[in-house]
Copies of this chain bind each other. A is one copy, B any other.
């Protein structure tokens, strides 16, 4: 019997789970690196039930940990163990309805528990598309994507989740319902509070329903894979592509040789799209015809900006290229893990930053291997660090953490971000406190105290 049992009895029995088997999948993060504890899993079916839960948590001083698909990478959805007080996990997976689709107005309204892949499918069936995608699309929920301001592989053209949220409904820490769901393309009536909820990692309230911006279906689509020698060359190809294709460049993903090779090693079913070896690869998605992509890549090769290129000749080939990109994190996990980083700098600054980081790492931690891939066109790389071959398991927690700090110091020098898309959670809270702008940190604390004076919303996250 948990000490919370009498309090939990106040809630409708059919939204409370306390069996260890029910809780277990929610207590450990996707990477298997962080386990917390909670007294219950709550499964509300409506906004009214979320209100009841939030009011209940306020009365009893219980921490509420909202969790979507539990695919986060910074521990934001994992309940902190004691001494942070009693906590329960709040999953909105029952609130997963696609409530409406308006293909003319390009708006889709969904419950926060709706899974991304299902939103993709619903949009496609209505002749539109929802242009945010990432590897975890089969599990990630809309509420989680909003609360973490998720990015993914189409940010270059369409922006992060923030750019795709037209409206939302949320339950604030005092139990009031912030009703900003109406899918207005323009609304300047006071502070845009939905922007505060987006990316707040559940610390300011619970997102319950979301109105999403759809895009028209693509008239044409083409996918290509390029082998080249450096991030500089990759930026030159991006520039060339944009000069020809304007804003129709959907994705421009960099994959360093180490990341490709390790992925092919752990996933023998996958094959490299190119025959030869290259130090860097770029995966390109264009919202335009493949002959345009082909002619740009031919010209890039002639200009010495690229070494080789392949254009997908079918949807199946395009999907095979994307599967490599999307499988990289899983391969990394199978390899024993890494120091995962998620940095961004100004796009033009990527080559200089990357060169400095490689040099710094080699000097400070000989034998470590940069494992770099990500969204070059957004200035956002997953600049991960693999332990030296044969390193002890503890390496990640000791030297690895120090290496991360060095990398973050370099990021600060480049005025970049230590978390471009993954968020802060618990993993980066201390680093944010160490490196963040003091005015920003003070204002964040003031807002958190003003809206959640009891601190019931996702305790111990974001703030160190």
Chain B's closest residue to A200 (CB) is B191
- Which of A80-88, A110-118, A375-383, A399-407 contacts the other chain? A375-383
Residue A182 is within 8 A (CB to CB) of chain B in the complex: yes
Residue A193 is within 8 A (CB to CB) of chain B in the complex: yes
Residues of B within 8 A of A270 (CB): none
In this complex, the member of A186, A187, A345, A379 whose beta carbon has the largest number of chain B beta carbons within 10 angstroms is A186
Interface flags for A312-353 (1: CB within 8 Å of B; 0: not) read 000000000000000000000000000000001111100000
Chain B's closest residue to A127 (CB) is B243
**One of B178, B179, B188, B438 near A422 (C-beta < 8 A):** B188
Residue A149 is within 8 A (CB to CB) of chain B in the complex: yes
Interface size on A, residues (CB 8 A): 84
Residue A416 is within 8 A (CB to CB) of chain B in the complex: yes
Is there an interface contact between B199 and A196, defined as CB atoms closer than 8 Å? no
Residues of B within 8 A of A274 (CB): none
Is there an interface contact between B242 and A216, defined as CB atoms closer than 8 Å? yes
Known contacts A105-B379, A180-B440; is-contact A247 B190 (Cβ 8 Å): no
Residue A450 is within 8 A (CB to CB) of chain B in the complex: yes
**One of B188, B196, B438, B451 near A423 (C-beta < 8 A):** B188
Residue A246 is within 8 A (CB to CB) of chain B in the complex: yes
Is there an interface contact between B419 and A216, defined as CB atoms closer than 8 Å? no
- Which of A7-15, A30-38, A91-99, A155-163 contacts the other chain? A155-163
Known contacts A215-B247, A438-B176; is-contact A187 B420 (Cβ 8 Å): yes
Is there an interface contact between B187 and A417, defined as CB atoms closer than 8 Å? yes
- Which of A133-141, A278-286, A359-367, A441-449 contacts the other chain? A441-449
Per the bound structure, the CA–CA distance linking A198 and B186 in Å amounts to 13
**CB of A162 to closest CB in B, whole Å:** 7
Per the bound structure, the CA–CA distance linking A319 and B441 in Å amounts to 47
**One of B185, B348, B441 near A190 (C-beta < 8 A):** B441
Residues of B within 8 A of A192 (CB): 149, 162, 195-196, 198-199
**CB of A212 to closest CB in B, whole Å:** 13
Is there an interface contact between A428 and B189, defined as CB atoms closer than 8 Å? yes
Per the bound structure, the CA–CA distance linking A242 and B195 in Å amounts to 28
**CB of A441 to closest CB in B, whole Å:** 7
**Interface members, chain A 134-187 (any B CB < 8 Å):** 148-149, 151, 155, 159-160, 162-163, 172, 174, 176-180, 182-187
Residues of B within 8 A of A174 (CB): 442
Is there an interface contact between A190 and B444, defined as CB atoms closer than 8 Å? yes
> Can you list 13 residue pairs at the A/B interface with Cβ under 8 Å?
A102-B347, A176-B439, A178-B439, A185-B347, A185-B378, A188-B421, A188-B424, A189-B432, A190-B440, A190-B462, A191-B196, A191-B440, A216-B247
Q: Which residues of A contact B (CB under 8 A)?
A: 102, 104-105, 107, 148-149, 151, 155, 159-160, 162-163, 172, 174, 176-180, 182-193, 195-196, 198-200, 204, 215-216, 218-219, 235, 239, 242-243, 246-247, 287, 344-348, 375, 378-380, 415-424, 428, 432, 436-444, 446-447, 449-451, 462
